[in-house]
A and B are shown apart, each in its own frame.
Chain A
Amino acid sequence: MAGTANVIEAEELRRTYAGGFEAVSGISFSVARGELFALLGTNGAGKTSTVELLEGLAPPSGGSVRVLGHDPYTERAAVRPRTGVMLQEGGFPAELTVAETVRMWAGCTSGRPEGARRSRSVRGGGRATGGAVDEALELVDLGRRSDVRVKQLSGGEKRRLDLALALLSRPEVLFLDEPTTGLDAEGRRDTWELVRALRDGGTTVLLTTHYLEEAEALAERLAILHNGRIAASGRVDEVVAAQPSHIAFELPDGYHLGDLPPLDRLGVSSHETSGRTVRLKTNALQQAATGLLLWARDSGVELRGLDVRSASLEEAFMKIAQDQRQEEETLR
């Protein structure tokens, strides 16, 4: 397979649950080798349902999915040794220690680093030795917790243990389902750093998140999921660029909206006022801002509360969710 081939391909993917609820309603996207792709969406948007199809935990109700050129559900043996998975809610036996958990997983994993097979817990020092187990735990900063039972770990530590296992086989493709949910700010930053390092090392990463800043910080491309459909997708800057920028200010005393230069000539696409506050939307932010500021200077007035803001992913995200809601309400 060529180095640039798509590693993940989803076409018209559908997933309907036993009760008839359709969680994924025909979505298509692809992820190239070495790329970091984010599925962004609110809770219930269909992120986990989609990722589980890519991981091969369930067959799609419609459409097709290929991972590394294989069907991840029916050709499990061909795909699994090359993928690493971190579920949204991972399960580990509560009574095993961290090191025992990693050792169990190492025994179930091919292509594991040298030493994993021979790793043994050495009493006295009270720590598990063996390159792979130690290395995996150091990677997520759990080295000092190796003899602690899983049930005694904090939520964030459990997430990091889960990540360590997903990385144990040094996978070509890594699926991370909300990897930083439940982590504190430091843990999140560390995880981001680790995910970036993996991407830089050539690992293809598909991650889901409902944190916009996470998608913005990590992803090269993303798809925004809403109600089981892709509402927008592309490079982060493309998705953002499709959204209007905003200008807000207070009308100076004695002035009316009509006293401003003609809004369409400023490149303003729409406006609204509440009290003295004016909000403008524009796809030509520089032109609109320049026109407005020149007018203010020439008129000798101060635009109090002036706020000029280019579009952000957050606005794109909110807008998409809002548009879809309105669409559905009119359909009803």
Chain B
Amino acid sequence: MTTTSDAVRSPVRARERTPNTAADRMKALGRAELTLLARNKSAMFTVLALPTVLTVSMHSAVSSMDLKQTGLTVGTVLLPGALGYVLLFAVYSTLTGVYVVRREELVLKRLRTGELRDLEILAGAALPAVLIGLAQAVLLAVGGSVLMDVPVPGTLWLAVVGLLLGMVVMGALAAATAAVTKSAEGAQIAVMPMMMLSIAGSGMVVPLDVLPGKLASFCELLPLSPVVGMIRDGWTGAGTGEVLRELLVMVVWTFIAVLVVRKRFRWEPRR
């Protein structure tokens, strides 16, 4: 710092500033988060390996299921389930951890002193998980289709919309879960209810069609159910008969999540 005085320049006045867009800021933050994700071995395993491993391990269970009355095949049960795993592990669970850890590290507080708006911080930090999740969903869908000889989705756009909306719902729920979680250790437990309920009750393993009526109606209201439902209906070409109900469930969950985040999300750790 010997040349300090020479190096310091006068402040830049407001009108001389190069403007900076929300996209610039989220890109910069997303890039940093991607670097961090790549350096975190256990997160990389959760994001990259778990969805595939779980899908493969479900294969024999689904194969022994009696699917005749539902019109589904092993492939159309397994593949939407695989995308469900991507949403749960690569997006929901990973993001909850990211938010909580960045809060503990005081990174969120530091970011809030800058130009990023609150939503940009949450969205920018979510970019890598969402993008990796999307890439992986595509790989699983294509690879699984080829291996299990599943035809191309009948209503492809519906499956794609379902997946994209699923990213939004999971991202919002991750922020909400982080909002009610106090510590990094707590985050691993805090994501469990949502993970268990979704795997058991959102049609990922057992299609809701084969459940008793009342139980099925309840399960339809779980956050991931409309997502898996939409993806499956897109695949089977079953049509858009359920779309309105599914959209409504997604909107309600997202709304609840946003409400929790607005009320409860803390940007710095409790002291």
Looking at the assembled complex, report how far the CB atom of B271 sits from the nearest CB atom of chain A, in whole angstroms. 10
B113 near A: Cβ within 8 Å? yes
Cβ–Cβ contact B4 & A80, under 8 A:
no
A197 engages B20 (CB within 8 Å):
no
Q: Contacts of B102 on A, CB cut-off 8 Å?
A: 91, 93
Question: Are A108 and B116 interface neighbours, CB within 8 A?
Answer: yes
| Residues in chain A near residue B69, CB distance under 8 A | none
Chain A residues near B36 (CB, 8 Å)? Answer: 93, 95-96
A96–B36 Cα gap in the complex (Å)? 7
Task: Give, as a whole number of angstroms, the nearest-CB distance from A253 to chain B.
Answer: 56
Task: Tell me if B263 counts as interface (CB < 8 A to partner A).
Answer: no
Contact B11 A80 (CB under 8 A): no
- Tell me which residues from 77 to 127 in chain A have a Cβ below 8 Å from any Cβ of chain B: 77, 80-82, 85, 87, 89-96, 100-101, 103-112
Query: Are B29 and A110 within 8 A (Cβ)?
Result: no
Assembled-state Cα–Cα distance A126/B156 (Å): 46
Cβ B11 vs Cβ A201 within 8 A: yes
Complexed CA–CA distance, A85 and B17 (Å): 17
Within 8 A of A (CB), among B7-63: 7-14, 16-20, 24-25, 27-29, 31-32, 35-36, 39-40
CB distance from B11 to the nearest CB of A (A): 4
User: Any chain A CB within 8 A of the CB of B262?
Assistant: no
The reply to whether the CB of B71 lies closer than 8 angstroms to some CB of chain A is no
Instruction: Tell me whether B4 and A194 are in contact (CB under 8 A).
Output: yes
B66 part of interface (Cβ distance < 8 Å) = no
On whether the beta carbons of B12 and A201 are closer than 8 Å, the reply is no
Residue A76 at the B interface, CB < 8 A? yes
- A57 adjacent to B25 (CB under 8 Å): no
Bound together, the chains give a CA A261 to CA B5 distance in angstroms of 54
Does A170 interact with chain B (Cβ within 8 Å)?
yes
**In the complex, are the beta carbons of A110 and B110 less than 8 A apart?**
no
Residues of B within 8 A of A172 (CB): 11-14
A95-B40, A171-B11 known; A107 and B25 CB under 8 Å? yes
For chain A, give the interface size range: 35 or more
**Contact status B106-A194, CB under 8 Å:** no
B107 within 8 A of A: yes
Most buried by B among A92, A101, A109, A139: A109
For residue B115, CB closer than 8 A to chain A, the reply is yes
A197 in contact with B109 given A93-B32, A107-B31, A108-B116 (CB within 8 Å): no
Q: Which residues of B contact A198 (CB under 8 A)?
A: 8
B108 lies within 8 A of chain A by Cβ: yes
A172 CA / B13 CA spacing, docked (Å): 7
Contact status A104-B32, CB under 8 Å: yes
Give the docked Cα–Cα distance between A108 and B110 (Å).
Answer: 12
CA distance A141 to B7 in the complex (A): 12
Q: Which residues of chain B are within 8 angstroms of A108 by Cβ–Cβ distance?
A: 20, 24-25, 28-29, 111, 114-116
A180 within 8 A of B: no
What is the distance, in angstroms, from A143's C-beta to the closest C-beta of chain B? 10
- Confirm or deny: A220 has a beta carbon within 8 angstroms of a beta carbon on chain B: no
**What residues on A are CB-neighbors of B264 within 8 Å?**
none
Q: Are B115 and A91 in contact (CB under 8 A)?
A: no
Contact of B31 among A81, A104, A135 (CB under 8 A): A104
Q: Bound complex: CA of A57 vs CA of B111, how far in Å?
A: 10
Complex contact B14–A57 (CB within 8 A): no
The one of B10, B106, B110, B115 in contact with A81, judged by C-beta atoms closer than 8 angstroms, is B115
Q: Do A90 and B7 have beta carbons less than 8 Å apart?
A: no
Q: In the complex, what residue of chain A is closest to B20 when comparing beta carbons?
A: A110
The 7 nearest A-B residue pairs measured at CB: A107-B28, A91-B106, A111-B17, A110-B20, A85-B113, A104-B32, A197-B8
